[in-house]
Amino acid sequence: MPIPLQLGVTFTPAEITTMKMAAQSITNLIISKVNFNMSNEERESLSKVGDERLPYVFKSIGDYAVNYPGLNGQAYSMALATLDKDTYGQMFEVLTLVKEATERCEELQMVAGHFCFQFMTDQYDNAKKYRDKNVAGAQVVYDGLKGCFEGQGPQNPTPGNP
């Protein structure tokens, strides 16, 4: 979908509260089951199960562990491995929805920011153009916004507007 020409979207306080509560409920539910906060080093030290390894892991726990129990390790029980396999699959489904929600929030924020910046750019250009023509507030707006634009080159140059 192309970038819209205007946005003008708003959410009621109740809608924002609903979205925040939904996100917080995921965190709270996970913490109620297990609560850890790993460092980056700890995260990097974990064995990774990606798309290429997932079928092997599922076959190991769901098939081979049942049919050939004598080959199962002693350090971690099949019962726990089965729970972890199920959790992995469940979190995959949840993460898919969370990632979609995150992407939609980020896109909405980007588009809203784009239009805010365009508004500010137009306002600054007008203030710059009219600051020496006794237009009320032009110098105040120019002085207040010039730090964002100085040294950036022309933003939206107009003929006769240096």
Pair of tokens at residue 142: 């120019």
Cβ–Cβ < 8 Å for 145, 123 = yes
Report whether pLDDT(155) > 70.
no
Which amino acid appears at position 70 of this protein? G
How many structural domains comprise the chain? 1
Residue 120 lies in a domain: yes
Phi, psi of 133 (to 5 degrees): -115, 20
pLDDT at 153: 60
Neighbours of 57 (CB within 10 A): 15
pLDDT tier at 1, thresholds 50, 70, 90: low
Instruction: Indicate left, alpha or beta for 48 from its phi (over 0: left) and psi (-120 to 50: alpha).
Output: beta
Q: What would the DSSP string read from start to end of 3-14?
A: PPS-------HH
∠ CA 109-16-112 to the nearest 5 degrees? 20
Residue 154 lies in a domain: no
Residue 118 lies in a domain: yes
Which range of residues forms the domain containing residue 135? Answer: 45-149
pLDDT at 156: 59
Report whether pLDDT(22) > 90.
yes
Report whether pLDDT(159) > 60.
no
Residue 27 lies in a domain: no
Mean pLDDT of 76-103: 94
Mean pLDDT of 11-20: 97
CA distance 26 to 98: 9
